[in-house]
Structures are given as C-alpha cells and as structure tokens.
Amino acid sequence: MRLQLLRERVLELDAVLITHTHADHIMGMDDLRCFELRTGRHMPVYAQPHDHEVIRRVFAYAFGEFPPGIHVPRFDLRDVPTELEVGGMFIQTFIVPHGPTPVVGLRVGDMAYLTDVSAIPDAVRPMLEGLGTLILDAVRIKPHPNHFHFDRAKEVAAEIGAKITYFTHLSHDFDHDLTEERDLPPNIRLAYDGLRLDVAL
C-alpha cells in the first residue's frame, strides 16, 4: 500500500472500499494512517458487516485509546451500500461468491471490478451489461475452488462481453508478454501495477 501510494503520488483519499478481508486485501490498511495524520479525519472504510469484525480484530490498535501525540490509523467503518457516491464517482456495489466468502464487486460508469470471484450470480449479470472495461479475477492456470482460473475467466469475459477485459489477481503462472501474445484475444489483456484506465462516468 505504502509503495503504491508513493509511486502514484496519491496525496488524498476520500474513502476505502474493502471487497473482503483476506490478508492480501487488508494488510496494507495500516498505511492509511498517513491520511489521518494529514487531515485529522477518520478514514471512511466501507466493508460488509462481518468484515467490520475482522478489521476490528486485525487492527485492534486503530480503535484503541492513546494519549495525545500518538498517531494510529483511524477507521470510520461503514456498511457497503448498494449505491454510493464518493469522490465525485457514483459506485454501484453487488455481492459475488469467492468460494464460501461473499465479496463486494463494483461498477463505476462503464467499468466493473470483480476480483476474487468464483461465479457470477444471475442476479448480478444485469449490472455487467454494456461495460467498456471489466477487471476480472484469473488467479492461475489450474482450476481453483475460490477463484476463476485462466480458461474459466476467458469464458466469463466472453459471456460478459466488455469492450476490454483486464485479468487481475495473477499468480506467477503467467508470463505477461507470452500470455497476451499467444493465449489471449486482443480484447483481453493482463493487468499490471500502475495500469491506468479511462472510465466513462
């Protein structure tokens, strides 16, 4: 988190949306303390109610009492609404399964973000119509019980039919250039650190 904030020169953050509380998705939250230091404001953190408990347990110190002059990250935990306006963006959220774990997916304008997902419920499909950009989990080559694997992700990308799909949550199974050249159509690409996307809001 710290390295990404520095690399991208992120000096302000309006809110944080937690898709789920697996370690690889929350362990950077301590680095949010720099925003509390700058603004004195508790960071709004949107997360599912059962994930509030995990965040309170893992980052217990962020909810503790300290004498003046000691800074810890401070989180203003909020439930994830189905519609949310933050930072000038209108965000729609929905729940998808990640094996047994419910995960928040989101749509902003013509972009949808679906990481850590193992199925697309029928009820969610209408939220994924007319997409310009889809960001989709494709964790590895072999099937995985809790994630889309490469071949399944390609099928799902074709079903959803976004203008362009970026695979994310990629493991070391993938040689970036070779996979794009040899194994993917032009409208599916592999995401990478620092990728910037234009979103039609």
Pairing mode, if any, of strands 16-17 and 89-98? unpaired
Cβ 11 to Zn ion, closest distance in Å? 29
Q: Which is nearer to Zn ion, 51 or 116 (CB)?
A: 116
Helix (H) or strand (E) holding 111: strand 111-114
Q: What gap in Å lies between CA 126 and CA 124, rounded to an integer?
A: 6
Q: Which is nearer to Zn ion, 99 or 121 (CB)?
A: 99
Cβ 48 to Zn ion, closest distance in Å? 13
Q: Which is nearer to Zn ion, 10 or 27 (CB)?
A: 27
Side-chain-facing half-sphere of 109: CA atoms under 13 Å = 10
How many whole angstroms from its chain centre is CA 21?
Answer: 11
Residue number closest to Zn ion, CB atom:
22
Q: Which is nearer to Zn ion, 81 or 99 (CB)?
A: 99
Cβ 22 to Zn ion, closest distance in Å? 3
Show the DSSP H helices in the chain as ranges: 2-7, 23-26, 33-39, 49-58, 150-160, 176-178
Q: Which is nearer to Zn ion, 139 or 157 (CB)?
A: 139
Q: What gap in Å lies between CA 182 and CA 1, rounded to an integer?
A: 32
**Could you tell me which residues come within 8 angstroms of residue 182 by beta carbon, excluding any fewer than 6 positions away?**
none
Contacting residues toward Zn ion, per CB under 5 A: 22, 116
Cβ 41 to Zn ion, closest distance in Å? 28
Q: What gap in Å lies between CA 35 and CA 16, rounded to an integer?
A: 12
Cβ 117 to Zn ion, closest distance in Å? 9
Q: Which is nearer to Zn ion, 22 or 42 (CB)?
A: 22
DSSP assignments along 114-135, one per residue = E-S-S---GGGGGGGTT-SEEE
Cβ 139 to Zn ion, closest distance in Å? 9
